[in-house]
Each structure stands twice: as C-alpha cells, then as structure tokens.
Amino acid sequence: MLKEIQNIADKNRRWFSDDYFDLIAWNDADQRVSWFQLCYDTHGIEHALTWVKGKGMDHHRIDSGEVSPLKNMTPVLIPGGAVPYDKRVRLFTERAVNSDRDIHTLVLRQLLESRGEDVLGTRKVR
C-alpha cells in the first residue's frame, strides 16, 4: 500500500511509496498539483508516467545508469514504449487506498484519460 514519506525537504512536493510504485506530486503556489510522476515496477524494469498540467502524460523507462557495481551513474529517462494502462490502473487503485484522496483521484483520472476513457470508465469517442 502506498504510504506517504514524511519530512520531505521541499514543502511543495509530496512523495508516496510502496514496493511497486513511487508517486511524487509537485504543488503550485496555490497548493494544487501541477505535475506528478508515477514510477512503477521499481524493483524490476522501472518506468515513469509523468503528467504535467496543460501538457498531458509522457511514458519513459528509467535507465538506472548502473553499468558496474564500482560506480553509481545518474538515472536517465528514455522512451518507454506502450503503456500497459489496464494493469497500472488496477494496481494503483488497489495500492493507493490510503494515499491523499485528491492526489489519488487526479492520478487515476489522468491514467484513465490517457488510456482513452473518462473518469467513469466509459470509452471516449475519438
């Protein structure tokens, strides 16, 4: 289950984590979420879904930069391919029950809209 990590130095950022997801949400000056990053499969082949207000959703694979156990390189985002939205929506819904309701609703809404559905799960006509 996603739990909030307390005592983050940046007062405009909130971070929720479990063994599969990391969700980081950044607030604007009005304390509304202006963008978030939902990282998934954090112990496997990690990917990130990044949503920015007014721009929409991007999907990336996270290249950890680890080529050797002797050095620690900076992780980078590279194109992530197709998003398995059905699994992400299901797992996020199951695991985010204890997270902030407003952030949970926003993330779920953006996942559904990016998948091509409205918040009620009805397919949009395109």
Q: What is the pLDDT of residue 126?
A: 41
pTM of the model: 0.83
Inform me whether the pLDDT recorded for 47 exceeds 90.
yes
Q: Indicate the Cα dihedral angle 12, 62, 87, 81, nearest 10°.
A: 120
pLDDT band with cut points at 50, 70 and 90 for residue 81: confident
Q: What is the pLDDT of residue 71?
A: 67
Inform me whether the pLDDT recorded for 117 exceeds 80.
no
Rounded CA-CA distance 32/109 in Å is: 15
Fill in the DSSP letter of residue 27: E
pLDDT in tens, 86-102: 999 999 999 998 889 99
pLDDT in tens, 2-21: 999 998 889 899 999 999 99
Q: What is the pLDDT of residue 76?
A: 75
> What percent of the chain clears pLDDT 90, i.e. is strictly above it?
60
Q: Three-class SS of residue 92? A: helix
